[in-house]
């Protein structure tokens, strides 16, 4: 349970939610999240859903991955949003950049919160990765140059600021302080990147002075991955720069069975977007095999951030029951159930 909210919409008569399925299985799991929200009935205000465009497939048709109309509607008409998944290519495509990265920057969603919790799997895992969401290498300042002898040289700028590091630290300490263990681990590599990671580490340490009830540890990112698989119980809340947080949370998903069960929210001071951690999975897209759990859990996180704690808990309990029973699970968890069968099982319990 994560008391993350920096704002609340709990007094609204209508809750307007933007839906951005984007690519691949996003078009299957976002409808599942919508159904879970609708199943809550009077536990939340009347909901209105706005279907919005973004993604690589949209880019291929229209030349832009994140249309201005989507941003405008998010800013002017929506209280929150759900994002599905994006098929960002691994090779350079002229004019294309990830729409979810652009969304995070445009909406100032500086915190990516990724809880990783085991239910029916061993070992027991209960941790939260708090990932800075706006800078590091994800500023995407890259160049490709040639040396005098014609060899190519690629360069990427990494940006770490005191301001962003302290903002994500405040969010991480707020989460840690509300959890039973009240423990936070700073993830860095300042033994090598003494200036950039050094600034991140020092900024978090400075914020720690305002949270005397939270114990603080440090871990180099490479050894953190090792320890994550050997002793996951060591970690409670992990706060990390953008790239490290991305890698660590995906790695942690392996401990709980699948990326298909790990949710997240992109949170700022005035907006929140729920987003399952998994990718677009083009190999199973359109086959009714995608796991809807991460998307449904992300919807619950989004609602909790907005102040609807009871509604979020109803969704979370329903999901946990389905996972613990283990009768209806999708192929990524070793089962044969379809996306809709798992969704229906959760809806029945909600």
Q: How far apart are the C-alpha atoms of 79 and 37, rounded to whole Å? A: 14
Residue 151 is a catalytic residue:
no
Residue 53 is a catalytic residue:
no
CA end-to-end span of the chain, whole Å? 17
What single string gives the DSSP state of each residue in 125-162?
A: -EEEEEEE-S-EEEEEEEEEEE-TTS-EEEEEEEE--H
Identify whether the C-beta of residue 62 lies closer than 8 Å to the C-beta of residue 55: no
Q: How far apart are the C-alpha atoms of 327 and 344, rounded to whole Å? A: 13
Structure token pair of residue 227: 């320890």
Catalytic residue, chosen from 222, 226, 269, 348, is 222
- Residue 105: CB partners within 8 Å, gap ≥ 6? 134
Residue 197 is a catalytic residue:
no
Identify whether the C-beta of residue 267 lies closer than 8 Å to the C-beta of residue 172: no
Identify whether the C-beta of residue 78 lies closer than 8 Å to the C-beta of residue 18: yes
What single string gives the DSSP state of each residue in 187-211?
A: EE-TTTSTTHHHHHHHHHHHHHTT-
Catalytic residue, chosen from 189, 197, 244, 289, is 189
**Phi, psi for residue 72 in degrees, rounded to 5:** -60, -45
- Residue 140: CB partners within 8 Å, gap ≥ 6? 97, 101
Angle (CA) 313 179 7, round 5°: 60
Q: How far apart are the C-alpha atoms of 315 and 349, rounded to whole Å? A: 8
> What sign does the CA torsion over 158, 204, 187, 174 have?
negative
Residue 222 is a catalytic residue:
yes
Catalytic residue, chosen from 53, 58, 110, 138, is 138
Interstrand relation of 183-188 and 126-132 (parallel, antiparallel or unpaired): unpaired
Catalytic residue, chosen from 246, 289, 308, 332, is 246
Residue 308 is a catalytic residue:
no
Q: How far apart are the C-alpha atoms of 83 and 97, rounded to whole Å? A: 16
| Positions marked catalytic | 138, 189, 222, 246, 250
């Amino acid at each position: 349970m994560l008391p993350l909210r920096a704002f609340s919409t709990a007094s609204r008569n209508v809750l307007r939610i933007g839906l951005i399925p984007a690519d691949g299985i996003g078009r299957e799991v976002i409808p599942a999240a919508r159904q879970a929200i609708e199943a809550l009935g009077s536990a939340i205000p009347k909901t209105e859903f706005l279907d919005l465009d973004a993604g690589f497939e949209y880019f291929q048709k229209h030349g832009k991955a994140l249309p201005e109309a989507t941003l405008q509607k998010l800013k002017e008409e929506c209280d929150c949003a759900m994002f599905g998944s994006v098929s960002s290519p691994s090779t350079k495509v002229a004019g294309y950049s990830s729409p979810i990265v652009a969304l995070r920057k445009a909406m100032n969603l500086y915190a990516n919160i990724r809880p990783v919790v085991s239910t029916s799997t061993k070992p027991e895992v209960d941790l939260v990765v708090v990932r800075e969401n706006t800078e590091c290498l994800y500023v995407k300042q890259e160049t490709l140059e040639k040396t005098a002898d014609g060899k190519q040289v690629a360069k990427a700028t990494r940006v770490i600021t005191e301001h962003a590091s302290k903002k994500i630290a405040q969010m991480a300490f707020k989460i840690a302080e509300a959890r039973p263990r009240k423990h936070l681990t700073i993830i860095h590599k300042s033994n090598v990147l003494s200036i950039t990671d050094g600034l991140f580490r020092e900024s978090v340490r400075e914020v720690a002075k305002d949270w005397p009830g939270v114990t603080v540890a440090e871990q180099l990112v490479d050894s953190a991955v090792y320890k994550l698989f050997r002793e996951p119980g060591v970690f409670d809340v992990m706060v990390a720069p953008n790239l490290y947080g991305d890698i660590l949370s995906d790695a942690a998903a392996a401990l709980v069975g699948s990326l298909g069960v790990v949710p997240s929210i992109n949170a700022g001071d005035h907006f929140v977007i729920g987003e399952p951690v998994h990718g677009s999975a083009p190999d199973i897209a359109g086959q009714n095999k995608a796991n809807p759990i991460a998307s449904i859990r992300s919807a619950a996180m989004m609602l909790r951030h907005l102040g609807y704690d009871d509604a979020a808990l109803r969704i979370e309990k329903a999901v946990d029951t389905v996972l613990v029973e283990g009768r209806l699970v999708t192929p990524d968890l070793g089962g044969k159930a379809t996306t809709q069968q798992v969704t229906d099982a959760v809806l029945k319990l909600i």
